[in-house]
Structure 1
């Protein structure tokens, strides 16, 4: 059996940053919010591996803690999208008809708009903050997951084992959630990995614009925003958070590619 190197490397990269993010919620080398003017604007060194920002806060410590925020937001967004998208996609795909047409047309309308634009409208109406970002992005991720699940259900409901289950009187919920959906788990995992990447980028974008995580709580996008004024004087304040976002996205992109190869 040929080894799936994309999946192996992707899992290794993701595990590394996930461990760092989890540890960062309980311990960091330095306090992530306290300011120290005596240590301000220090370049990377043995004492501060990734340097310090203009307030004297350790960049590595803030990345450790901020990565946890990014993972938390992205996971919550994907969970909302998967749960409601699965329910909607399964019901529309299985029953079809007028119900399917109405729900899918609404789905198409939502998909036709950029998710960030709709999220900005949501935040402008209800305010900024971590949990409002999760709610806004989570709702906007539902249509894409619903379309994937619907396609899987439409394909599977015509298979012989599903028809046999109907003949012997298996209940509709059991057919959908116990017989059809488990067979599409690889597709859902692939879509979830891609969705996680999109959620990371969306969270970073919202925080960069000042509409997501609020200071002094660290966030990768917020750290990029705070560093733009001193990009040439303290490039490490932008480079390391940026590289962290890139590596997280790379890890999940490789996982998605590895899962896609499993389907071939």
Structure 2
């Protein structure tokens, strides 16, 4: 009997829960995310404000819901850019090989030798802080990792019998790559995407914490943590809401990636 993949089940449930929270937060929140109440400054969690309020009297639950949406938006767009362009580059270089393959892979090695968050910080500091610049910076920096994974899968499959049969039947190179080889790399790509989501969430939170990410008044989990650090003793709930949310989102993606990895074994 096949063992149940508990990592995938639990991680998927956590991820879907916060995805639902993020989606709901784009259309409805208990209070306005920028609505201030001078009579409810640093209010402890209660029935009216389940996660308490911040130093401006804003409802933390509402801001966490909206901030989760911003985080998911950045993560999804980042991974899409990295996955789409990385898949194209990795598939073509792995299938055709030669000088172009060596050149692209050496460039990939150079990019991968530097921490992506460091390069993203340099890019943002040279341009302008904001969600779209984060997406562009991280998306470009995620391309090499996806390209390497796809390339290895294409090299593994390009001389297998089903590929040779497709060539004999007259299938073109593009059809062989995208219709025959890449479907066999689906699990590897999904695993890489889950890890990419994880890294994108961490990167977005880190840059927003440093003031280089999503800018006020738009809610951001990382920015909320930065604002909460001055109130850790007076209002610890200010940091608990966004902090626990980030931890659980990362935990969910990590368990999903571990579950997908176990499927490959």
- Deviation per residue, 1:185-244 (Å, 9 max, x gap): 011101100110000000000100101100011011010011111111111111121110
Does 1:152 find its partner at 2:153? yes
Equivalent position of 2:65 in the other structure = 64
**Once the two structures are superposed, what CA deviation does each residue of 1:134-173 show, in whole Å capped at 9, x if it has no partner?**
0011000000000000000000001011112122221000
Counterpart in 2 of 1:222?
223
1:18 and 1:168 map into 2 onto residues whose CA distance is 44
The aligned residue for residue 20 of structure 2 is 19
Matched, 1:98 2:99: yes
| Other-structure match for 1:244 | 245
1:127 aligns to what? Answer: 128
DSSP-derived class of the 1:210 partner = coil
1:54 aligned residue: 55
Hey, what's the Cα distance between the residues in 1 that align with 2:228 and 2:246? 15
In structure 2, the residue matched to 1:197 is 198
Q: CA deviation at 1:47?
A: 1.1
Q: Distance in 1 between matches of 2:36 and 2:48?
A: 16
What secondary structure sits across from 1:102 in the alignment?
helix
Which residue of the partner structure matches residue 178 of structure 2?
Answer: 177
Count how many residue pairs are aligned between Structure 1 and Structure 2.
264
Deviation at 1:2, TM superposition (A): 1.8
**Structure 1: which 5+ residue stretches go unaligned?**
none
Q: CA deviation at 1:25?
A: 0.5
Q: State how far apart, in whole Å, the 2-side matches of 1:176 and 1:190 are.
A: 20
The answer for the alignment partner of 1:43 in structure 2 is 44
Distance, in Å, in 2 between the alignment partners of 1:102 and 1:5 is 41
TM-score, structure 1 normalization? 0.98
Specify the alignment match of 2:74 in structure 1: 73
CA deviation profile, 1:46-70 (whole Å, cap 9, x unmatched): 1110100000000011001100000
For the residues of structure 1 that align with 2:237 and 2:250, how far apart are their CA atoms?
20
Tell me which residue corresponds to 2:34. 33
**2:206 is equivalent to residue 187 of structure 1:** no
Secondary structure of 2:48 counterpart: coil
Note the aligned Cα RMSD (angstroms).
0.8
In 1, the alpha carbon distance for the partners of 2:173 and 2:187 equals 23
CA distance in 1, matches of 2:176, 2:164: 10
